[in-house]
A = this chain, B = another copy of it.
Amino acid sequence: MPAKPQFRVGLVQMAMSTTPGENVDKALAKVREAARTGAEVVCLPELYRSPYFCQKEDAALFDLAEPVPGPSTEAFGRAAAEAGVAVVVPIFERRATGLYHNSAVVIDADGEIVGLYRKMHIPDDPLFYEKFYFTPGDLGFQAFDVKPGRIGTLICWDQWYPEGARLTALRGAVVLFYPTAIGWHPSEKVEHGADQHSAWQTIQRSHAIANGTYVAVVNRVGHEIPPGGGDGLEFWGSSFLADPLGVVVAEASPDREEILVGEISLPRIEDVRRNWPFLRDRRIDAYAGIDQRLLDQE
């Protein structure tokens, strides 16, 4: 089947409750709503089924994980087939006893699982204690064919690494999805909040520009206080879709649940890449060393 020249993506910006079942039901309803408004590929936020539990290290929270296939893929497999929409479902993946990943499952519009991405770059910072929970992915940077087109999935911290975007785009993805859970430390927001948000949007727009692809970023909203108390994290929403020149063509609010729907246009990609032919001129003979930690040994 030839690729469609245009298709629409739906970005589900939502807030999470502490009850997984409620989050699943809400996300299912939003996927159906996105499909009704024309979306053909819908993406949920990172770890959509729970609050962002990585604010503390607690071995009991591994109970939140689920296998693939498992509850999320079964629920969204049915919903995808019923609504005729492909879905990117980010999950806390239980791969084996003591082996967990921060993953995204790609379900096609017929309900079949067509892809699994495991977050490659794992952060670890105050209140983002992800290295405790998630083994770094071992499936590499991939692109997946769903009925509307070829898509790429990366997750949150991956967004800071041009290499991940490049490799996914070189595999033919026309849109890079970044399900995300990023927010402000309330104590930093006044002084650093605007610069942090700007850096985050800027680097993801840059992946669109460097590669001539769309970039779709899906964040959560809400101020989540962990069970033990504390300032918590104020997730900054602001989900957005950037076109292949990095133009933000749709953007959500910082604090409300929203479904953004925007168009992926292959003719637009064609036009941008013809006029800004960056892929033509890459110096693939001269990138040795990029697989080194630092070039301080020469």
Residues of A within 8 A of B (CB): 120-123, 125, 136, 140-141, 157, 160-164, 166-167, 170-172, 195-196, 198-199, 202-203, 205-206, 209-210, 245-247, 275-279, 281-296
If A125-B277, A288-B291, A292-B170 touch, whether A161 touches B210 (CB-CB below 8 Å) is yes
Contact between chains at A121 and B282 (CB < 8 Å): yes
Chain B residue numbers with a CB within 8 Å of A171 are 295-296
Q: A202-B205, A210-B161 are in contact. Are A292 and B284 (CB under 8 A)?
A: yes
* B283 close to A120 (CB less than 8 A): yes
Q: Which residues on the B side are within 8 Å of A294 (C-beta)?
A: 170, 172, 279
Known contacts A209-B202, A209-B203, A277-B125; is A289 also within 8 Å of B167 by CB?
yes
Closest to A280 in B: B124
A296–B295 Cα gap in the complex (Å)? 30
Instruction: Pick the residue among B167, B195, B206, B296 that contacts A206 (CB under 8 A).
Output: B206
- By a CB distance below 8 angstroms, the chain B residues around A163 are 162, 166, 282-283, 287, 290
- Given the interface pairs A245-B195, A246-B202, the reply to whether A166 lies near B162 with Cβ below 8 Å is yes
Number of copies: 2
Complex: A45 Cα to B160 Cα, angstroms = 29
A127 to B121, CA, bound (A): 41
| A209 contact set on B, CB distance < 8 A | 160, 199, 202-203
* The 5 residue pairs across chains A and B that have the minimum distance between CB atoms: A206-B206, A162-B162, A170-B295, A171-B295, A203-B206
In the bound complex, do residue A295 and residue B167 qualify as a contact, i.e. CB atoms below 8 Å apart?
A: yes
Asked if A199 meets B293 with Cβ closer than 8 Å, knowing A162-B166, A287-B167, the reply is no
Nearest-Cβ distance from residue A188 to partner chain B, whole angstroms:
9
A125 to B281, CA, bound (A): 12
8 further A-B pairs in the complex, CB-CB below 8 A; given A160-B276, A160-B278, A161-B282: A121-B281, A167-B289, A170-B289, A172-B294, A202-B202, A203-B206, A284-B293, A287-B291
